[in-house]
Amino acid sequence: MAETRAALAQNSLFIAQQFRQRIALCWPALRFGPAVGAKPRCRAARGISGTGAGRLCDPPAGHDRLDQIRAWTLLVRAWKCGVVQLKGAVARMKCLRVYSTADGESHFDEVEIPTTSRQVHPNAAAFAVSAKYAASGIRFTHIPAGARQVDWHTVPERVLTVRLDGSAEYQTSDGDERRVPAGSFVLSEDVDGKGHKSLHAPETQTVLWISLPQGLAKPDAE
Closest by Cα among 23, 11, 8 to 79: 23
Cα 49 to Cα 64: distance, rounded to the nearest angstrom:
22
Residue 152 has pLDDT above 50, yes or no: yes
Range 90-211: architecture per CATH: Sandwich (2.60)
More confidently predicted of 64 and 193: 193
121-138: pLDDT as tens digits: 988 888 999 999 999 999
pTM over 0.75? The answer is no
For 43-59, write each residue's pLDDT tens digit: 333 333 333 333 445 55
Parse the chain into domains and list their residue ranges.
2-80, 90-211
84 has pLDDT over 50: no
Task: Write the CA distances from 146 to 83, 118, 143, 162, 202, integer angstroms.
Answer: 36, 42, 9, 20, 5
pLDDT tier, 73 (very low <50, low <70, confident <90, very high otherwise): low
* pLDDT class of 93 with cuts at 50, 70, 90: confident
- The C-alpha angle with vertex 144 and arms to 142 and 150, in degrees rounded to 5, equals 95
pLDDT of 208 over the 50 cut: yes
> Over the stretch 23-44, which tens digit does the pLDDT of each residue have?
555 545 444 444 444 444 433 3
